[in-house]
Amino acid sequence: MPKKMNLLDKLHQPFVIEAIKNTDWSSGSSKTPLIIELDTTEACDLACPGCISEDIMKTKNRFSNERLLQLGEEFYKNGVKGVILIGGGEPLAHPAVGEFMDYLGEHDIHIGITTNGTFIDKYLETIAKYSSWTRVSMDAGTTETFKILRPSKGGKSKFDSIVENMRKLAEVKTGKLGYSYLIQTPRDGQGIISNIDEIYKAAVLARDIGCDYFEVKPSYQFREGIDHALMIHDQTIMQRAKEEISRLDELTTDTFSVMKAINLDYSLQGSQLQQEKNYIHCPATELRTLVCPSGTFVCPYWRGKDHMQIGNLNNMGFSEMWHSQQRKNVMDRLDASKDCTFHCLRHESNLEVNNMLQTIKEGKDIIIVDEFDRFI
């Protein structure tokens, strides 16, 4: 069966347990986040219809070359363990990102990359050497479908060149390479076609390229005041999706796996997943944060939302921002049980951290696993 992502074991690594113990949970103050999700730029070379970052990318903000490199130094000095290059925009489009990745890698800050794949060849050597994982957003199995779902600004398809970039990386990589497939149907936006019938074909291609895994993900929508609600697709189409996904088992090998996003089954079944949060403080916001050129936010779900901005690293240092009154005010105001009505990937992690805190309070031993993945 396709594997589901499991984030809970990661919380039992020694460096995470130490961070949990060293956080003042009564005031909500950790020394530093362990993981930074970083938008190097809010510009992108593709023009995907229905892009969730469309409004943000209108500004085309980016960190200056100098500031981006300074941030690398500040992350290191503050004890950050890993940086995920993400967007926002296309993270590898930043002109100084190669030098930035070199610095992180040389200073043992692990790197994860979520990318559209168009710039992989430009930074091939650095990515191959330092990236723990590189996940390429593809969402198609043919150049024709890719042209509709992920066109360039000129309306062309870069599918073949991205596939070639992935082949090159597969030959020299030291980390993992993934092919990401977001399920899309006409429900996702005007003019969007269904990519359901290419799921299996795309997985075959991913294995042929030399990817380590193929990941199937559900799409999300704005619904009833919720910014990140599961998209409810036509069940006839979803039945075909189930059939395609059921065929993926035959593709798995010792070197190639199929991953299912945590909420995929709910989307396939047309269920409106209710994620009740019975806690106010969000532990994940002490362990991770999102840094963008337009501001630093409590997490990616609040990207671009001014009332959840905890600082701006264009005009202050990282440590200053993390311990600022502005961040404290936002954290004091944030109520996960009321504010976070969306489907949060870190919900189960939050429950586990709270369980761990209770275990510590009771003087009991926490289960410890050897370090295996810094991307908690």
Q: What does the alpha-carbon distance between residue 297 and residue 310 come to, in Å, rounded to a whole number?
A: 6
What is the radius of gyration, based on Cα positions, of the chain?
A: 20
Whole-number pLDDT of residue 214:
98
E-assigned strand segments in 218-308: 220-223, 226-230, 257-260, 288-292, 295-297
pLDDT tens across the length of the chain (376 residues): 555 557 899 999 999 999 999 999 887 678 999 999 999 999 999 999 877 766 676 677 999 999 999 999 999 999 999 999 998 899 999 999 999 999 999 999 999 999 999 999 999 999 999 999 999 999 999 999 999 999 999 999 999 999 999 999 999 999 999 999 999 888 755 557 899 999 999 999 999 999 999 999 887 765 555 566 667 777 888 899 999 999 999 999 999 999 988 777 777 777 666 789 999 999 999 999 999 999 999 999 999 999 999 999 999 999 999 999 999 999 999 999 999 988 898 999 999 999 999 999 999 999 999 999 999 9
| 306: Cα separation from own chain's centroid | 21
Whole-number pLDDT of residue 6:
74
Whole-number pLDDT of residue 123:
98
Domain ranges of the chain: 3-361
Q: For the purposes of burial, counting CB atoms within 10 Å of the CB of 347, is it exposed (0-12), middle (13-18) or buried (19 or more)? A: buried
Superfamily name and number for 3-361: Aldolase class I (3.20.20.70)
Tell me if 99 sits within 8 A of 345, measured CB to CB.
no
Whole-number pLDDT of residue 369:
97
For residue 228, give the 3-state DSSP assignment.
Answer: strand
Q: What does the alpha-carbon distance between residue 61 and residue 159 come to, in Å, rounded to a whole number?
A: 26
- Residue 26's CB is within 10 A of a number of other CB atoms, namely 7
Whole-number pLDDT of residue 126:
98
Q: What are the residues whose beta carbons fall under 8 Å from the beta carbon of 303, sequence distance 6 or more?
A: 39, 53, 56, 88, 290, 292, 297
